[in-house]
Amino acid sequence: MSVRHESDVCIIGGGISAALMAWKLSELRPGTSIVVVEAGRRLFDADQRWLQRRRMLDYGENPWPGDNIPDQAAAGIISRSMVVGGSAMHWGGVTNRFSEEDTRLKSLFGLAEDWPLEWAELERYYCEAERRIGVAGDPSPLPEDARSQPYPMPAMRLSWNLHQLKAWGERSGIPFWPTPQAKNTRPYDGRGECLRCNTCAVCPTQARYAPDLTFKRLLASKAIELHDRTLVRRLLPRQGGGARADIESASAVRLDRPQETVEYRAKLFVVAAGYAWSSHLLLSSASTRFPQGLANSSGLVGKYMTGHASVQTQIELDAEVYPGMNEEHSLVSRQFFRAAASAPYVRHDLRIWESTVNRDPRLRDDAGKILLGDDLMADWRARSRRATARVRAYYDIHPDRSSELTLDPSTTNRFGDALPRIVHRADAASQARHGATLAHIEGVFKRLAQHGNAVMGPVEHGSYWDHPGGGCRMGHDPADSVTNSHGRTHDHDNLFVVGSPTLPSGGCTNGTLTFSALTLRSADHMATLLPQA
């Protein structure tokens, strides 16, 4: 059996990029029919979150049961989350911006690629993204990070512990300030203030933004249709039209009714399926007419997969702290977003958290003796006499062309579709400077550790590239990129890719605010292609 749906816009994927796209398009073009197709289920169970949180704390249970599709996995992905709302259902809500340097790497430093847009324009979309999802922050004190609008909410207050760590960190001459977060510091957009209850992976109060809030609102106002548990398997181009044919339909299957195929026809198709599944869908849509897949005349779909690498340490120091005070909050410095022309290129962010490793109360001491009452308190006080700071840097690493997502025919889902394999590879310049990059960051850690009678622990290297993106990079030249700056594919006029896949490089700090800003910019352009109501 086959069912057909027709709409003006068909959005494939239901994460934060899809939520923002649907939200903005429905405002700019009221009456436009928008269908969002999401492979995962809808977990519209906000009333259950206190319970899920309790069970996570008491029994270590996954607070998001059913947020993935067991046979829809990939080698090299870092989040299995496939659900209405996507990974941002359990994100940390940290919303740092990239900086102008990220968009002008080639012209400023002769590295990687320039982005095909101006920073001043992107900055305005950052403001819009911050307003829509509700970001609380203090502006960076550095002039290069100037903002055209204030943060929508004042920054989360620093805990006593973070005040102590800030004073310590700044003794090294590095300024720190509260990390911006998509968490309410006052009632905002119909949601309450953060209670600082420390479990942001599952926020029981909805103080932290998550895309289900937007989808529920859009559904209530009938601005969209949402088809969950529906996996899009192929995009099909129109007959005729040569190599630049428009997309005619998306072919999908209902996961709970696999005998039923669903055909989506639309004027515009938006692939908002995240860093892994967007390239995957374009490659999976290969046919005899398009043997390399869709939007792939450049051969770059699935290439230049981006992200940033990380390195961290724990530093023990003299400071009077009380372990466990709003540990989700942190300090950030953007001092090292600037690369000195006189030294080898290195750019990184710098974050400090209070660490409670080995500082929580415990019922047995190191020798296994049971601790109760005064003994427990004495042990706890003894282990909390000093503080521990977790210090981490995300650093800039640029992808090689061979940093890629490919289809792996040896692993398939229940429909026999080959699943993705992602392997990140740094370009030659990033590899050449890697030693100097690590030496620089270790030097910064040591600089911090010179104060407060500190002892620095071992330096740990992250095992994956975080905030991944790429695979459909944007650019001016169709021979060297997959989409233009609005996410419109060079090959198919009615096919867009939005969010993380379009990034040519992955910056050196959390990426989701940037994915969101780019998506909102795409929405403005797409609206011009849709009729006014």
SS3 18: helix
DSSP state of 293: -
Span of 54-62, 112-120, 162-170, 509-517 interacting with ligand FAD by CB under 6 A: 509-517
Considering the rule CB under 6 A, would residue 208 count as an interface residue with ligand FAD?
Answer: no
**What would the DSSP string read from start to end of 282-296?**
HHHT--SSSTT-TT-
Site string for ligand FAD, 258-277 (x = CB under 6 A): --------------xxx--x
Nearer residue to ligand SF4 within complex by CB, 197 or 236: 197
Span of 41-49, 84-92, 101-109, 410-418 interacting with ligand FAD by CB under 6 A: 84-92
Contact partner at residue 392 from ligand SF4, ligand FAD, none, CB < 5 to 8 Å by partner kind: none
Rounded least distance, CB 192 to ligand FAD, Å: 20
Q: Rounded to an integer, what distance in angstroms lies between the CA atom of residue 317 and that of residue 232?
A: 53
Contact partner at residue 197 from ligand FAD, ligand SF4, none, CB < 5 to 8 Å by partner kind: ligand SF4
Which residues, at least 6 apart from 27, have a Cβ–Cβ distance to it below 8 Å?
Answer: none
Considering the rule CB under 6 A, would residue 332 count as an interface residue with ligand FAD?
Answer: no
Considering the rule CB under 6 A, would residue 511 count as an interface residue with ligand FAD?
Answer: yes
Pairing status of strand 257-271 against strand 247-254: antiparallel
Considering the rule CB under 6 A, would residue 324 count as an interface residue with ligand FAD?
Answer: no
Q: Which of 524, 532, 533 is nearest to 496 (CA)?
A: 524
Interacting residues toward ligand SF4 by CB under 6 A: 183, 194-200, 203, 205, 207-208, 328
Contact 17, 499 (CB under 8 A): yes
- Helix boundaries (H) for 171-320: 211-220, 274-284
Contact 202, 154 (CB under 8 A): no
Contact partner at residue 208 from ligand FAD, ligand SF4, none, CB < 5 to 8 Å by partner kind: ligand SF4
Contacting ligand FAD (CB under 6 A), which of 33, 48, 62, 79? 79
Nearer residue to ligand SF4 within complex by CB, 115 or 188: 188
Cα–Cα distance list, 232 to 23, 214, 470, 515 (Å): 21, 22, 20, 22
Considering the rule CB under 6 A, would residue 43 count as an interface residue with ligand FAD?
Answer: no
Cα–Cα distance list, 302 to 232, 506, 515 (Å): 18, 15, 17
Rounded least distance, CB 133 to ligand FAD, Å: 11
**What would the DSSP string read from start to end of 4-54?**
EEEEEEEEE--SHHHHHHHHHHHHHSTT--EEEE-SSB----GGGHHHHHH
Considering the rule CB under 6 A, would residue 282 count as an interface residue with ligand FAD?
Answer: no
Considering the rule CB under 6 A, would residue 512 count as an interface residue with ligand FAD?
Answer: yes
Rounded least distance, CB 210 to ligand SF4, Å: 10
| Residue whose pair of structure tokens reads 């190191």 in the numeric block | 366
The CA-CA-CA angle for residues 378, 379, 385, to 5°, reads: 85
Considering the rule CB under 6 A, would residue 437 count as an interface residue with ligand FAD?
Answer: no
Residues at the site binding ligand FAD, with contacts judged by CB under 6 A: 12-18, 37-40, 79, 81-83, 86-88, 90-94, 231-232, 272-274, 277, 281, 467, 499-500, 510-512, 515
